[in-house]
Structure 1
Amino acid sequence: MQRPSSPNSSRALLFRDRNFLWMLGGAVISMLGDQFTLIALPWLVLKMTGDTLVLGTVLALISVPRALFMLIGGALVDRHSPKRVLMLTKYVNTVLLGLLAALVLWGGLTLWMVYLLAFGIGLSTAFSIPSGTAMLPSVVKPDQLQAANSIMLGLRQASMFLGPLLAGLLIALSGDGAPGSAEATRGTGVAFALDAFSFALSTWTLAKVVPLAGRSQAAPQAVFSSVAEGLRFFWRDNALRSCFLYWGAIALLIHGPVQIALPLLATQLDLGAAAFGIMLGAHGAGTLAGMVVSGIKPRLRVGTLGLTLLLVDAVIGLLFIPMGQISTTWQGALLMGVIGLLGGFMQVAVFTWIQRRVPPAMLGRAMSLFMFIFMGLAPMSAAVAGWLMRSITLGQLFAGGGILLVGLVLVALATSRIRDLRDPEPAAAARA
C-alpha cells in the first residue's frame, strides 16, 4: 500500500504547482481587497450620516440578498462550473466598487446610491462565496486538499490581520475629517478603488487557473429541488440540526449587533478609523494564532468536542461584557485578540467536523448553509441593532450581547446534545 504523503511534502508539491499558485495569488489579492471595503463601507456611512440606523440598513441591504440567494448560489455552482460563476462575480464586483470609488472621490454620492450599490454587492456575494469555496477541490488533487485548505485558511486569517490595519491607516492618512465634509470620505474612496483593482487583478489570475480533468459536474437538478433536498438532509440529522440552530441563534443575537457596535466604539476611541482597523486586525491575528494552536494540538479538548465548543463560547460571552466600557484602542485590541484566539481554535475543529460528517455530495450545500448563518443572518440582525442603538447605550449593547451568549450556552447544555459531540476519526467514512 502506498504511504500517504506527509503534510510538509504536500505543501511542498503545492508550491510547485503553477495552477495552485495562480489561484492562491488571486485569492490573497482578493482577500486583502475585501478587508478594505469591510472597513471603508461602515466608516463611509457613519461619516456621511452619523446614524447607526442607516448603518444597520446598509448592512442589511448587503446581507438580505446574500442570505436569500446564497443557497441558490450553492446549488447553481453544483450544477455549473465554479470557475465560471466566480469569474462572473468578480466582473460585477469590479464594476460596482469602481463606481462607488468614483462617486466618493469625485463627489455626487448620495445615500440612495449607497443603498443601491450595497444591494448589488450583497447579491454578487451570494454567488461568489459558494463558488469560491467549491473551486479548490477542482484545482488540487484529493490527497493535497487538506494541505491546500490549510494554506488558504491561514492566509485568509493573515489577511484579516493585515488588511484592516492597512485599511484603517489608509483612511486615516488619505482623509478622515469632520463628518459631512469632503475630507471625511476621501480615504474611503481610495479604499474602494483599491478593492476594485484587487477584483480586476484576481480576475486575471483566476483566468490562468485550469480545473483538473475528470471533475465532471453533478447531474442536472432543479435549483430549488436541490436546495430542498439539502435542507431535508440537514434537518433529519439531529446533530447537524442542533448545531445549525445554535449557530443561527448566535448569529442573530451576537454577531449582528457586534457589526454595529465595533465601528461605533471606534469613533469614541483615541485613534478613530485606525482604531477600527487595529481592533479587527487584532481579531484576525488572534484567529490565526488560534488556528495554529489547533493544528499543533488538534485533540486539545475539555471533555468532548461539543463541551469544548460551549465552554469557549461562554468565555467569549464574558469577554464581550466589558467591551463597551473600554477607553483606549489597546484595550479593545486585547479583548478582540483573545476572542479571535478562542474562535480560531474552534473554527478549525468545527469545519473538520462538518466535512467529515456530511457526505461529499452534500458538502457544498452544507457549507453554503453554514455560511448563510453567519454571513446572511448576522448582518440582518445588525439592522435591528442599529435601531436599538437609538434607545440603549453602547455599553448596554455589548453587555447584553455577552449575557445572551452565556445564556445560549446554558440553554444548549440543558436542552440539546451538543455537549456530546465528538471528533470523528480521520479515517472514518462520511455519513451516507
Structure 2
Amino acid sequence: MTTTFAPAQLSRAFWLYWAGVALTALGDAIVYVALPYLALAVGRGMGGAGAVGLVVLAGSLPRFLGPLVGGLADRLAPRGLLAFSAGVRGLAVLGVGLWGQFGTLPLAALLALAFLNGLLSTLAYTAGSALVPRVVEPDALARANSLSSGALMGAPLLGFGLGGGLIHAFGAAGALLVGVPLVLALCAAALALPHLSAAHGGGRLQPLADLRAGLRVIGASPLLLALMGMSFALNLAMNVMNTRAPLQMALHGRGAADYAVFEMLISGGVLLGIVLVTPLTARWSLDALISAGRWVLLAGTLGFILVSVPAWWAGAAVFGLGLGLLEVAVTTRSQQIIEPGVRGRVIGALMGVNAVALSLGAGLAALPLPTPGLMLGLVGLLLVLTPLWPAALRRQRLSASSSASANPSSSSSQG
C-alpha cells in the first residue's frame, strides 16, 4: 500500500497543475460568493431571486458548448488551453471588479462575467480531466484524482470564508479584485508545464460530430448511461440550491456571513469525502462507493426542505460528503472506461447534457415557488433515479457473463 500511493509516483507536471488548480479554486470561491450579492444589489428592481437566477443561468449556459470544448481538449495541447482559460478569466474578473469599485455596475456586466467565467471554467476542467491520466501512472490515478478534486472542491473551504470576510470589508466588487491574482495562478502553472501533444490526431473542429461521437461512447456503456442520468439530477439540484441558498441566508440569517458558512460546510464535506476515498477503496470497489454516495447525497438534500439556517448548514455538510465521494469515484471510473483519444469529447457530451439540467435548475429556482416545496421535489427526483446505478451494474455483469460464455477460452485463461 505504501508503494502504491507514494507521492513519488506523481510527476512534477501533475504537481504543477495541482498547485495552479488549488490557487485558482481559491480565487473562484471568492468570485462565487461575490457574484450573487452583486446581483442582489444591481437587480433589486426585478426581485432578488430573479437577478440571482439570471446570473446562475448565465454561468450554466456555457455547458451547452461542452462538445465544442471537448473537441478542443482532444485536438489541442493542454498547456495552451489551460493558460488561455485562466488568463482571460483573470482579466474578466479584474474588469468587472474595477467597474463595480469605481462605477455603477449593470446586471449585463455580471451576466457577461458569469457566462465567460463558466465557458472558460468548462474548458479548463475538460482539458485538466484529459490531462491528468496522461501525466500519472495508471495505479496512481485514483490518488491523483483525489488530489485534483481536493484542489477544485476542497480549496474553496478557505475561499468561501475569505470571500464572506472580504465582502464585509471591501464590498463584493473589492472581493473580486482580491481574487484576480489567485484566478491567474493556473495560467502561470500551465506555462511551466512540459509540452504535451494533443491526445487526438488533429483535424478540424466538428462540434456536432464530436457530440455524436461522445454520445455513442456513452450509449454503448450501461455504466456511463447511469452516471449521466445521476449527474443530470445532481446538476439540476445544485443550481436550485445555488440560487436559493443566498436568499435563505438573507431571509432567515445574517446574509453573506451565513452563506459563506453554508458554502464552507459544503466544501468541508466534499474534502472529507475526497479524503475518505483512498482508505475506502481498500475495502470497497469504486462501484460500491458510487452506490453509497447516492444515498448520502439524498440524505443531505433532505436538510434543505426545512427553513432554518442550521438545517441548511447540516444538509450542506452531508450533501458535500456525498459529493466528495462521488466526485473521485465517478471521475476515476469514467477514466477507466473511456479511451484516451475520446476523453475530451465524452466529457464534453456529458457537460452538454448537464447544461440542460443546470438551466432547468436555475429556471426553477427563479420561479416564485416556496423553497421547501422545491427541495421536496428534488428529493423525490433523486429518489426516483436511485435504481439507475444498480440496474447498470446488473447489465454490466450480464454483458460480461455473456461475453465469457461466448468466448470460453478467454474465460478459462482468466480462471
TM-score relative to the length of structure 2: 0.84
**Aligned-partner Cα distance in 1 for 2:247–2:269:** 22
Is residue 239 from structure 1 mapped to residue 223 from structure 2 by the alignment?
A: yes
The amino acid across from 1:393 in the alignment is P
The amino acid across from 2:359 in the alignment is M
Find the counterpart in structure 2 of residue 377 from structure 1.
356
CA RMSD of aligned residues (A): 3.0
Of 48, 67, 71, the match for 1:71:
67
Where structure 2 has 5 or more consecutive residues not aligned to the other structure, the ranges are 398-415
**Aligned-partner Cα distance in 2 for 1:201–1:348:** 23
Which aligned pairs between 1:157-236 and structure 2 lie closer than 5 A?
A: 157-174=153-170, 187-211=171-195, 215=197, 217-224=199-206, 225-236=209-220
Measured against aligned partners, the alpha-carbon deviations of 1:330-370 in whole angstroms (never above 9, x if no partner) come to 44222211221223223322222212222232333333334
**Aligned-partner Cα distance in 2 for 1:293–1:419:** 23
**Aligned-partner Cα distance in 2 for 1:378–1:103:** 32
State the number of aligned residues.
393
Deviation at residue 268 of structure 1 after TM alignment: 2.3
SS at match of 1:151: helix
Find the counterpart in structure 1 of residue 22 from structure 2.
28
**Aligned-partner Cα distance in 2 for 1:263–1:6:** 45
**Aligned-partner Cα distance in 1 for 2:303–2:57:** 26
Confirm or deny: 8 A CA contact 2:303 2:311 kept in the other structure: no
Q: Which moved more, 1:150-159 or 1:98-107?
A: 150-159
Measured against aligned partners, the alpha-carbon deviations of 1:352-398 in whole angstroms (never above 9, x if no partner) come to 22122222323333333344455x3343123312332x1x2122222
Distance 1:144 1:161, change over 3 A: same
Measured against aligned partners, the alpha-carbon deviations of 1:243-270 in whole angstroms (never above 9, x if no partner) come to 3134324433x22211212121111233
Find the counterpart in structure 1 of residue 266 from structure 2.
283
Find the counterpart in structure 1 of residue 410 from structure 2.
none
Of 152, 159, 168, the match for 1:156:
152
Q: Which moved more, 1:223-232 or 1:102-111?
A: 223-232
Find the counterpart in structure 1 of residue 301 from structure 2.
320
Is residue 260 from structure 1 mapped to residue 243 from structure 2 by the alignment?
A: yes
Find the counterpart in structure 1 of residue 125 from structure 2.
129
Deviation at residue 272 of structure 1 after TM alignment: 1.5
Find the counterpart in structure 1 of residue 323 from structure 2.
343
Confirm or deny: 8 A CA contact 1:283 1:340 kept in the other structure: yes
The amino acid across from 2:375 in the alignment is F
- Provide the identity percentage: 23
Find the counterpart in structure 2 of residue 60 from structure 1.
57
Q: Which moved more, 1:365-374 or 1:126-135?
A: 365-374
**Aligned-partner Cα distance in 2 for 1:193–1:7:** 42
Distance 1:19 1:321, change over 3 A: closer
Measured against aligned partners, the alpha-carbon deviations of 1:163-190 in whole angstroms (never above 9, x if no partner) come to 112112221333xxxxxxxxxxxx2112
Is residue 41 from structure 1 mapped to residue 35 from structure 2 by the alignment?
A: yes
Is residue 393 from structure 1 mapped to residue 370 from structure 2 by the alignment?
A: yes
Deviation at residue 133 of structure 1 after TM alignment: 2.3
TM-score relative to the length of structure 1: 0.81
**Aligned-partner Cα distance in 1 for 2:255–2:141:** 41
The amino acid across from 2:155 in the alignment is S
The amino acid across from 1:6 in the alignment is T
**Aligned-partner Cα distance in 1 for 2:303–2:201:** 52
Is residue 417 from structure 1 mapped to residue 391 from structure 2 by the alignment?
A: yes
The amino acid across from 1:377 in the alignment is V
Is residue 292 from structure 1 mapped to residue 275 from structure 2 by the alignment?
A: yes
The amino acid across from 2:113 in the alignment is L
